[in-house]
Structure formats: C-alpha cells, structure tokens
Amino acid sequence: MSAHLPAGLRLTASDRPGVAQPVPERDIPSQPWGRILIVAVLLAAVLLALWEVRWRAYGSEPAYRNSDGLWAIQRRRIDEGEGGKTVIVGSSRMLFDVDLDTWERLSGERPIQLALEGTSAAFALDDLADDPQFTGKLIIGVAPELFFTGFGYRRSAFTHYHHEGPGQRIGQWLSMTLIEPLFGFYDEDFALGTVLRRQDWPLRPGDKAHRDVRKLSVSEADRNTRMWRKVETDPEYRELARQIWAQKFGPPEPAMVARLKDALPKELARVAKAVAKLRARGVEMVFVRAPSVDQYLDFEHRAFPRETTWAPLLAMTGVRGIHFEDEPTLQGYELPEWSHLAAHERPRFTEALYRLMHLPAASPPPASSPNA
C-alpha cells in the first residue's frame, strides 16, 4: 500500500506506511490576507443587507422561527412546574387560530402552545400521556386530514425535545437573542435552497407540478402565532396559498384511499389509548374542530365525513367535542386561504372557544350533522 507521490503535493499519512507520522506542516499561501479578509467581510455584509432589504420588501418581518427548538422550550414548561396548566395540541389551525393573549385575559393563565403545523395531535397525545408531570387541561385540535391519517410533518420536534443537548439549547437562545428578532430574511421560506427550488423550473416529461405549502404565519417567542399579513393583504399570494391547498382537492388516488381506510381505525385506537392514560391522571380534555371554509371544507366533507371520523372519535374516547359546524359562535369568520383565521379574528374566535369550553359539558353530538 505504499505510494508514489507526484511532485508538488504535500505528503500525507498515505505516503508513509508503517511509521510514526510526523507533525503535519501546513503552508500559508502568500497573499495579502488582511486586505482580502476586509473585502470579503464587506462584500458579505453588503450582500446580506441587500438580501434583508429584498425580503423586507416582500413583506417579511423579524419574528421567532417556529423551530423544533422553540417548540421544545414550550414543552419543557411542563417539566419545569407548569404541568397543571392548559396545553394546546393539534395542528396549524390550533396554532394560528388561538390567541394566547385573549386566553390569558379570560382565564388568568397563559396556555402552553404545543400545536404543530402539518402534524396530527396524536403525536402530542402520545408524548403527554407518557409524561406523569402533565396533569393539566388539554385542548386537542382535530384537523381531519392530519388527525385521522396520523400525518406527522413536524414529528422531529418530539425527537428534538427528548434528545436536545446543551449545545442546541445555547444555539436556540443565541438565535432568539441575536438573529430572529432582528432579521426578516431568517425564515425557512427564504433560505437559499428553498428559494431556488421554488422557482418555476420546467417540468420533466411525465411530472406533475406540485408546490409546497408557503409561509403562512408569524410566531412570537412563546409560539403565540398568527397569520402572516401578506396572506391577508396580497391577493396574488393568497391565491397561491389557496391553489397549493387545491392541489389535494381532486379525486384521491386509489392507493391513497386504501391508505386512509387503513389508517383511520389505527389512529382512533391510538388516540383512545392515549386519552385513557391521560384521563387516569385526571387530565381534562376537549376535542376542537376549528373552522375551514369553501373548497377546503368541501374537500374535508368529501374525504373525511363526520359520521366516519369525528363521531367515532368522540364515541371511542368519551371526550367532549366542539365542532365549529355545531356552534354559531365559531362560524362566520374570515379565513383568507380557506383553512386558517385572519389574524384579527383570533381574539373573537378564542373568546368564543373559551366560553364554549366553560359551558357545562353536553353529550357528544350526533354522528351526522346537518352541515356534514
């Protein structure tokens, strides 16, 4: 395994078999490194400033990144003495629609926001069911296409929380202190790879156009989250957000139908198991089906009829459910992209939800609703 070394190359351990390896020698190329460094730093700073200006002009504003680290901070509150509080789990509707300020004003207690976009509440239920420190109240968002399929776009948040090391915590703190409150460009949607990937590249023959969900929300440090203003004010962007949802509104492929059929009983059993564990600890729970409208609601009615999803859920778990179609106070809101409330609607919705939750519990609604 000995080697012949071409001229001009630095020797490495490859060239010295079976001997003690000497102290490496590294040459510094002869260049005016001081001036080079200054120009490089200036260039990077100017480009970065232009990049920030470009994204501010697009409508971005500094906000806390809805990262796994941010979620873990809220999740840790349960470990740090707040296990008796109200916790919100679910997906983006519970995340965007519930206003923590309003809830705090009404109840005197700020809830812990653990809803994760694109993710079934079942993951959080499993996690909290296994945590004896959690004994509080649980508001469980049910977004049918996620909840009844067990979809988990943000499952990584749970792994992150359970395995987060001190280095990651420090990094999260530094990011929330030095970067996130200052820069509008620091958002997953504006990352270089994402921006390039989302250009209108020509399609490969036989390929179907598919667009990922775009930025829809803005978060505060405790994950109090609202719809991004651009979705409400920019008709073109709002239409894009709607068209992205509309990609899934067509007739489902047979394989997808089979998968859904297979997933439903499993997910119901999974949730029932977690609910039983939580109930045994005295945790109060309520399922909430937040509003959706127009084409999105039509899709949900077609693909996830209440009588085969929501009704069995309540029957199997014995947990109270609040469905927006049953409650006049949860209807009539503005949902710019059919799935989430406009930011200004959050206080009214939150207050209505709070009041409904604090009414005496009624028996579960009938399996078929007039609106379904």
Partner 1 sequence: MVFNSLSFVAFFAIVLALHALPITWTARKRNLLVASYLFYAAWNPPFVILLWISTVVDWYAAQKLVRAERQAARRAWMLLSVIANLGMLGYFKYGGFLLDNFAALMNVAGVAYQAPKLDIVLPVGISFYTFATMSYTLDIYLKRAKPADNFLDYALFVTFFPHLVAGPIMRPTELVPQFATERRASADQLRFGLALMTLGLFQKVVLADSFLGKTAESVFDGKTAPGAIDAWFGTLAFSGQIFCDFAGYSTTAIGAAMCLGFAMPDNFRFPYAAIGFSDFWRRWHITLSSWLRDYVYIPLGGNRHGELRTYLSLMGTMLIGGLWHGANWTFVVWGGLHGVYLAVERMLRSRFAHCRPGPLALFGFAMLTWTLVNITWVFFRASTFGKAWDVLGGMFGAHPDAKLLLGTFDLLSVGVITAGILFAHWQLRERTLEALVARTPPLLLATVWGLMAFAIVISQGTGSAFIYFQF
Segment near partner 1 (CB under 8 A), from 36-44, 79-87, 127-135, 275-283?
A: 36-44
Shortest spacing between CB 239 and partner 1, in angstroms: 22
The length of the chain, given as a count of residues:
372
Residue 284 near residue 138, CB atoms below 8 Å: yes
Site membership for partner 1, residue 361 (CB under 8 A): no
Other Cβ atoms closer than 10 A to 198:
12
297, with CB counted inside 10 A (0-12, 13-18, 19+), is middle
Residue closer to partner 1 (CB basis): 203 or 361: 203
Q: Residues 81, 108, 167, 254: which binds partner 1 (CB under 8 A)?
A: 167
Residue closer to partner 1 (CB basis): 176 or 286: 176
The site that binds partner 1 (CB under 8 A) totals a number of residues, namely 70
Residue closer to partner 1 (CB basis): 26 or 358: 26
Written as one string, the DSSP assignment of 133-181 is T--SEEEEE--HHHHTTT-BTTTHHHHHHHH--HHHHHHHHHIIIIITT
Residue 89 near residue 122, CB atoms below 8 Å: no
Site membership for partner 1, residue 174 (CB under 8 A): yes
Q: How far is CA 213 from CA 153, 188, 225, 341, 368, in A?
A: 12, 12, 17, 16, 31
Segment near partner 1 (CB under 8 A), from 31-39, 216-224, 275-283, 346-354?
A: 31-39
Q: How far is CA 322 from CA 56, 126, 236, 285, in A?
A: 39, 21, 34, 11
Segment near partner 1 (CB under 8 A), from 11-19, 56-64, 109-117, 227-235?
A: 11-19
Residue closer to partner 1 (CB basis): 174 or 276: 174
Q: How far is CA 25 from CA 10, 11, 22, 28, 143, in A?
A: 8, 9, 9, 10, 61
Residue 216 near residue 337, CB atoms below 8 Å: yes
Please name the residue that has the structure tokens 């207050």. 351
Q: Which of residues 186-215 bind partner 1 (CB under 8 A)?
A: 186-188, 190-193, 196-197, 199, 201-204, 206-207
Per DSSP, the three-state class of 86 is strand
Q: Residues 107, 133, 175, 308: which binds partner 1 (CB under 8 A)?
A: 175
CA distance 369 to 120: 23
Residue closer to partner 1 (CB basis): 240 or 297: 240
Per DSSP, the three-state class of 277 is helix
Residue closer to partner 1 (CB basis): 54 or 355: 54
CA distance 339 to 364: 24
Residue closer to partner 1 (CB basis): 23 or 280: 23
Site membership for partner 1, residue 27 (CB under 8 A): yes
Q: Residues 132, 171, 181, 318: which binds partner 1 (CB under 8 A)?
A: 171
Segment near partner 1 (CB under 8 A), from 25-33, 92-100, 221-229, 278-286?
A: 25-33
Q: Residues 61, 101, 170, 181: which binds partner 1 (CB under 8 A)?
A: 170
Q: Which of residues 220-259 bind partner 1 (CB under 8 A)?
A: none
Residue closer to partner 1 (CB basis): 163 or 358: 163
Binding site for partner 1 (CB under 8 A): 1, 3, 6-10, 12-37, 39-44, 47-48, 51, 67, 165-168, 170-171, 174-175, 178-179, 185-188, 190-193, 196-197, 199, 201-204, 206-207
